[in-house]
Amino acid sequence: MKAGEVSEFVYGQVRAQGVSEPAGEPAGILGQVGFGPLGSDPRTSPGWRWLTATWNKQFFDNDEYMRSLVIPVAGTYSYTFRFTDDGGTSFMYGDYDPGTADGLSPTNLGTVTVE
C-alpha cells in the first residue's frame, strides 16, 4: 500500500464464552486494529496507533471485526487486533495461528509494508 492511502479491510476475530456464540453483534465487545513498529510488542511498546473496528459477521462461535488502515509514513509495520469487554480497562491481543491459545508473540503479528 502507499503512504496515506486507505488499505483493504483487515479482519480479526474474538471468542468470548457466553458472549460471542449467539448470532449478531455482541453487546459490550470493542474491537480495535492497531499498527506499530515492526516486531514490537503491542502490549508494552510505544508507537502503536489503535483504531476502532466495526463488527462484520458471526463466524461459528466467533465474532469478526474489520477496519481499513491509513498509514501516513512509508515503512514496514506490525499490525494486530485487540479486544475488550470492560470498556478498555484490559485488552486481549491476538496474533496469527493458533491465535491467543499460545499467548501473544510479536514475531507472529501481521506485517504491512507502506511505500
pTM of the model: 0.90
Stretch 66-84: mean pLDDT, rounded?
97
CATH number of the domain residue 52 falls in: 2.60.40
Q: How many domains does the chain have?
A: 1
65 occurs within a structural domain: yes
107 occurs within a structural domain: yes
Q: Are 108 and 96 in contact (CB under 8 A)?
A: yes
54 occurs within a structural domain: yes
Q: Are 109 and 95 in contact (CB under 8 A)?
A: yes
As to burial, measured by CB atoms within 10 angstroms (0-12 exposed, 13-18 middle, 19+ buried), residue 69 is buried
4 occurs within a structural domain: no
Structural domain for 92, as ranges: 10-114
Q: Which of 24-28, 30-34, 51-55 has the lowest mean pLDDT?
A: 24-28
For the record, the C-alpha cell of 72 comes out as 501516513
91 occurs within a structural domain: yes
Task: Express each pLDDT in 38-50 by its tens digit.
Answer: 999 999 999 999 9
